Structure 1
Amino acid sequence: MALGRRLEKQVDQRKKKVVVIGVDGATFDIISPMIKKGRLKNFARLLKESAHGTLVSTIPPNSSVAWSSFMTGKKPGKHGVYFFMEKKPNSYARPVISAKSIKAKTLWNLLSEQGKRVIVVNVPVTYPPEKVNGFLVGGLLTPSPMSVFTHPPELHMELIAALGDYPIDTDAVDVFLNTGDEVLAYQSMVHGTRKVHEAAKLLMSKNAWDFAMVMFSITDKVAHVAWKYTIPEYQKQFPEKCAKFRGLIETSYELVDDLIGDIISTLDEDTSVIIMSDHGFGPIHEKFYVNRWLRDEGLLVLKKGGSFRLSPLRALRNFLVGPLMRKILGERIVGMLSRIRARNLKFLKPARDATEAPPVIDWTRTRAYSSWTGGEEVIYLNVKGREPEGIVASGEEYERLRDEIIRKLQNLRDHDGERVVEKAYRREEIYAGPCMELAPDIQFVTRATAILPRGELFGKPIFEKPADFSPAIHRMNGIFFMRDRNAKKGAGIQDAHIEDMAPTIMHLLGLPVPEDMDGKVIAEAFQNDFLSDHPIIFKPVRVEEGDHVFAAESEPGDGTPAEEEADIRRRLKGLGYID
């Protein structure tokens, strides 16, 4: 529906509440078949009562990027988050991000400025917590239970007193990394999910609020590690284990379905409800070692004497956790060997910081490089005056090299003869805004987003089939439901994007939408009469108003203290996001 733009003339002061329930990684690829089996009664009811559809994620469909776009209504060029790691000026290092990395105002910041009371529980990239008009409990990337991850700071202890416990979002990941016990890890995950639900309900029942949000991450974490149990080839290798665990994904969706129903049951009919996810999910096809490919193309060069070969110790480690030993010793024992090595065998650990560039790279001859920690579909050029030892001149040389790499990426074929890269973009083709200097020079999307980029430089294979079909990885297709008196009930919505959530929520609350948001109000979800009576109003934004509360006090790389980064990286590795 085409709607004329209107500048701010008056603010619609109708009293309204909005609840957003995030279901991390949820996809209709799982929800729709389960509804047909009669297993998700609340999602089934929402299909009839809500406008709904696929919610297109960000490029890339990474949780850090997608949730940042959700909470700002902006694409990465305006909010500055491109992955869990960020580019540090005049450095090859890529430190972990935090909420300070988001250089645009968040939805809860904007609502607080308008006098709205907010409750935000367990949304990723909200640590350290910003001051809001209400309550905020940080989610993914909170370093530890000892961190101050709530606003107000005493809220964590108050939740423990009221609920008996409130674990941080990644407690279950720590359980698995420390024990290798899938049962204990899942118990921890379920416990944490229920505590998140209880915390949100408690805050909503005891306080006045206009906007409340809670995010359940169990659907994402379980999909990452348990998708393999649904794959026939893996089931043939480990039939008993797969028989036990193959239902974990559906069981987790049923749990969240019950919690959604419980929250909705406490709301009146005038409260709008949005259910959404940041991306979808699917199985991994193969791994793509981007730095090795750049090395073999002569674009990334090692110092004289540097070796492409694995060290004997690293080769031994790969053998111990490889497919043959998995068959001989069993999946759990091999997993324990890998974790023991990582924790206790110090001589097998890399000496350098995992976010730093390998010291064997000859930067005087290297023209391009990718992420050292993997997980990113990116390539950076070694630009003179930007990188510490840059050699690529800006202008014609830069553009010529970028075109060459894009052409090679799009012509790249794997061992099966299939294209690896679906599309490679110059950064200005998909990003725009004040944070462009942090963007990769080339951003690419792999075939069906089913190929996982890895950062490992040493070793020969460019492509590798994962021995245990893990981890499952993100897809572009998230979910969206909007239940509201004025929504088109049962209507299917096309072409909704995750950055559309913030402006849509602001319109539901009767507030003007900042003009600098990239997202749009999802007008197709509303009844025509409502839009005629309540036209979308836009608020002009001065440049200085667009700056985030943290922007003036932080630079890229300053977001997370060094002593906390190792724990965060370890958990991201446990989930398969990085090497």
Structure 2
Amino acid sequence: MNTLLVGLDAACLPVLEPLFDEGVVPTLQEIFSSGTSGQLESQIPPWTASAWPSLYTGMNPGKHGVFDFLTFDGYEWSVINGSHIRERTLWELLDYHGYSSVVVNTPVTHPCRPFNGALIPGYTAPENPEGYPSGILDDVRDAIGEYKIYPRDPTPKDKAASDRYCELIRMRGDAFRYLVDRFDPDFGFIQFQQTDTVFHERPGDLDTVRDIYVEVDRQLEAIIDAFQPRNVLVVSDHGIGEYEGYDFRVNEYLRRHGFVKTVNGGKGMPTWATIRDSKLMAGIESDSIEPTTGVKLMQLVARAGLTSQRLGAVLRRLGLEEFVTSRVSADVISAGTQQVDFERSIAYMRSRTELGIRINLEGREPAGIVSESEYDSVRRRLIELLRNATAPDGYPVFDEVVPREVYFHGPRDGDAVDIVTIPRNFDQFLSAMLADDVFGEPTEPWNHKRHGVVAAIGANIDTEACLEGAHLFDIAPTVLATFGLQADERMDGRPLPIVEAVGTATYPEVSLTEVSSTNDSNVEERLANLGYIE
């Protein structure tokens, strides 16, 4: 193997350095100390579903086409998948040059496109994806035993949580070693998602974080010992950290300034969290489920003005919120939620992990009410309004509020938000939900930060080179350079100074399959449980 790329979702120096001090992750520590390492600036938005495609294409979302966990067709949504990636991936570029690859657990890779090698999809894939070549997941299971994409329990609360996370990590390592033995690839890419998941499901549980990294280190040691790759790169898509700021309800703020209109007990937005219903968990689509009596009753109550938000405020004051919500199904709560009315609103936040505002533009949105001639003035007013948003501590809510073209450019930038909103220090939790107050305690005490890590060691790596200013977009051209290959001239990144740059080239357009929908309620459920879908 010429180059091994190891993806640690959400890894960052504040998480890794205490583990280095303890000496519990010797393989990772050796790579960081004997090789070269530094911070890796993520993209906007710095979330898994968009950031990993940016890393493995070297391009911004305006080119590859994935901006969030959700994709929108007018006001309708679905969870993104591999068919939404509209640029050539790193392993497809290597295939173009005659090199083979093994890719395990990389997010947003299902359904797979053909290439020279093998791929087992990761995050946003269904539990039993096809993989590539056809039937490869069955072969893996025959060879190593059980292999799962997701944890046995999406929200583990018991003492066995560490074992359940580590079980998945061992599966990744076993599957990767089996596939490398079988395919003898030039390039290997293994990604570990649990290094991120633990912070969403068990915030502050640093003992479990330690267990997860110890197991990752074991698997990495076994891979390196078995295959002796000439070059090893360890990368993350973003960082993670504790949130000490505020929950800022963007749509509530916009409503109070006349941009958002609402509807009670209807089919407005947000309604992203899938119904926690046994039929849905069995894979039956939500449109085929007849609303329960409780849902119908809650809709009637909400239309009369007594919404879930108002009930929640009363329950919080009485100290009963957790007791009641643990006993009332999410579909009933959702049915009573006051929601953004897409059709009557001027602008809104569709999904909090998009990090921005979409304008209800005439001719683009199904019921757009902002004309082309008004677009620029409406956007300027919104930008000024949001730049002036001030948190209760007296500081601005946002570090940046800018037009989308500052961060997104390419043939698919029209799918992006119109205004990008970057929360101050990534310490303010943005929410698309409506509530009685604009500000509150952070919905999640730990969440994503802007800077991850990169470390590299090997025959083609200059360990004396400085990694200051390294960006997520730089990883794909850097990997190509370890093969002596030119980067795609359309990439937004450049090879890091740790490798010898070999210039750029014009590549033919990738042969793309038709975009398909994700019709798997279990995937939606997991994203909702992790807080990515509200």
Equivalent residue in structure 2 for 1:153, among 134, 140, 151: 134
Distance in 1 (CA, whole Å) between partners of 2:60 and 2:262 is: 36
- The answer to whether the aligner puts 1:54 opposite 2:39 as a matched pair is yes
1:273-317 CA-to-partner distances (Å, cap 9, x unmatched) read 111110000112322211111111101123699989973555555
- Structure-2 change in CA distance of 1:24 and 1:295 (3 Å): same
- The answer to whether the aligner puts 1:100 opposite 2:83 as a matched pair is yes
Listed as ranges, the matches of 1:541-560 within 5 Å are 541=507, 545-547=508-510, 549-550=512-513, 553-554=514-515, 558-560=516-518
1:298-344 CA-to-partner distances (Å, cap 9, x unmatched) read 01123699989973555555666899458xxxxxxx48x6465336x
Equivalent residue in structure 2 for 1:206, among 182, 189, 194: 182
Listed as ranges, the matches of 1:101-140 within 5 Å are 101-140=84-123
- Between 403-412 and 469-478, report the one with greater CA deviation: 469-478
Equivalent residue in structure 2 for 1:341, among 328, 340, 365: 328
3-state SS, counterpart of residue 116 of structure 1: coil
8 Å CA contact 2:310–2:436 kept in 1: the answer is no
Distance in 1 (CA, whole Å) between partners of 2:318 and 2:99 is: 55
1:245-271 CA-to-partner distances (Å, cap 9, x unmatched) read 442222222222222222222233x61
- The answer to whether the aligner puts 1:166 opposite 2:151 as a matched pair is no
Counterpart residue identity of residue 67, structure 1: W
Q: Which residue of 2 aligns with 1:10?
A: none
Q: Which residue of 2 aligns with 1:571?
A: 526
Q: Flag structure 1 segments of 5+ consecutive residues without an equivalent.
A: 1-15, 230-244, 327-333
Q: Which residue of 2 aligns with 1:401?
A: 378
Distance in 1 (CA, whole Å) between partners of 2:206 and 2:18 is: 15
Equivalent residue in structure 2 for 1:539, among 474, 496, 505: 505
8 Å CA contact 2:231–2:461 kept in 1: the answer is no
1:497-556 CA-to-partner distances (Å, cap 9, x unmatched) read 11111111111112222111111111x213xxxx3xxx5132123xxx334523xx22xx
Equivalent residue in structure 1 for 2:169, among 178, 188, 193: 193
Q: Which residue of 2 aligns with 1:239?
A: none
- Structure-2 change in CA distance of 1:313 and 1:45 (3 Å): closer
- Structure-2 change in CA distance of 1:319 and 1:190 (3 Å): farther
8 Å CA contact 1:52–1:481 kept in 2: the answer is yes
1:437-464 CA-to-partner distances (Å, cap 9, x unmatched) read 111100110011122222223x321111
3-state SS, counterpart of residue 123 of structure 1: coil
Distance in 2 (CA, whole Å) between partners of 1:310 and 1:374 is: 25
Distance in 1 (CA, whole Å) between partners of 2:111 and 2:503 is: 32
Listed as ranges, the matches of 1:98-497 within 5 Å are 98-145=81-128, 147-148=129-130, 150-168=131-149, 170-172=150-152, 175-177=153-155, 181-227=157-203, 229=204, 245-268=205-228, 271-284=230-243, 285-302=245-262, 311=306, 315-316=310-311, 324-325=319-320, 334=322, 338=325, 341-342=328-329, 347-350=332-335, 358=339, 361=341, 363-364=343-344, 366-371=345-350, 373-395=351-373, 397-457=374-434, 459-466=435-442, 470-489=444-463, 491-497=465-471
1:362 Cα offset (Å) = 7.0
1:413-454 CA-to-partner distances (Å, cap 9, x unmatched) read 122222111101201112111111111100110011122222
Counterpart residue identity of residue 386, structure 2: L
Q: Which residue of 2 aligns with 1:515?
A: 489
- Structure-2 change in CA distance of 1:350 and 1:471 (3 Å): farther
Distance in 1 (CA, whole Å) between partners of 2:158 and 2:52 is: 27
1:147-202 CA-to-partner distances (Å, cap 9, x unmatched) read 42x1122111111111110011x234xx144xx53334432221111101110011
Paired positions, count: 498
Q: Normalising by the residue count of structure 1, what TM-score does the alignment of the two structures yield?
A: 0.80
Equivalent residue in structure 2 for 1:525, among 495, 498, 521: 498
3-state SS, counterpart of residue 141 of structure 1: coil
Distance in 1 (CA, whole Å) between partners of 2:83 and 2:111 is: 7
Q: Which residue of 1 aligns with 2:294?
A: none
1:349 Cα offset (Å) = 4.2
8 Å CA contact 1:119–1:135 kept in 2: the answer is yes
Q: Percent identity?
A: 28
8 Å CA contact 1:225–1:470 kept in 2: the answer is no
Q: Which residue of 1 aligns with 2:289?
A: none
8 Å CA contact 2:460–2:482 kept in 1: the answer is no
Counterpart residue identity of residue 440, structure 1: V
Distance in 2 (CA, whole Å) between partners of 1:17 and 1:208 is: 11
- Structure-2 change in CA distance of 1:51 and 1:303 (3 Å): closer
CA RMSD of aligned residues (A): 2.7
1:42-66 CA-to-partner distances (Å, cap 9, x unmatched) read 2221123212211111111111111
3-state SS, counterpart of residue 4 of structure 2: strand
Distance in 2 (CA, whole Å) between partners of 1:216 and 1:437 is: 32
3-state SS, counterpart of residue 393 of structure 2: coil
- Structure-2 change in CA distance of 1:213 and 1:299 (3 Å): same
Q: Flag structure 2 segments of 5+ consecutive residues without an equivalent.
A: 267-301
3-state SS, counterpart of residue 403 of structure 1: helix
- Structure-2 change in CA distance of 1:212 and 1:319 (3 Å): farther
8 Å CA contact 1:48–1:490 kept in 2: the answer is no
Q: Normalising by the residue count of structure 2, what TM-score does the alignment of the two structures yield?
A: 0.87
3-state SS, counterpart of residue 496 of structure 1: coil
1:137 Cα offset (Å) = 0.1
Q: Which residue of 2 aligns with 1:11?
A: none
Counterpart residue identity of residue 395, structure 2: E
8 Å CA contact 2:238–2:449 kept in 1: the answer is yes
Distance in 1 (CA, whole Å) between partners of 2:120 and 2:250 is: 37
Distance in 2 (CA, whole Å) between partners of 1:171 and 1:162 is: 20
Distance in 1 (CA, whole Å) between partners of 2:231 and 2:100 is: 15
1:96 Cα offset (Å) = 1.2
1:479-504 CA-to-partner distances (Å, cap 9, x unmatched) read 11111223222544111111111111
- Structure-2 change in CA distance of 1:121 and 1:303 (3 Å): closer
8 Å CA contact 1:314–1:348 kept in 2: the answer is no
3-state SS, counterpart of residue 27 of structure 2: helix
Counterpart residue identity of residue 512, structure 2: V
Q: Which residue of 2 aligns with 1:78?
A: 63
- Structure-2 change in CA distance of 1:504 and 1:303 (3 Å): closer
Distance in 1 (CA, whole Å) between partners of 2:67 and 2:318 is: 33
Counterpart residue identity of residue 207, structure 1: F
3-state SS, counterpart of residue 526 of structure 2: helix
8 Å CA contact 1:49–1:490 kept in 2: the answer is no
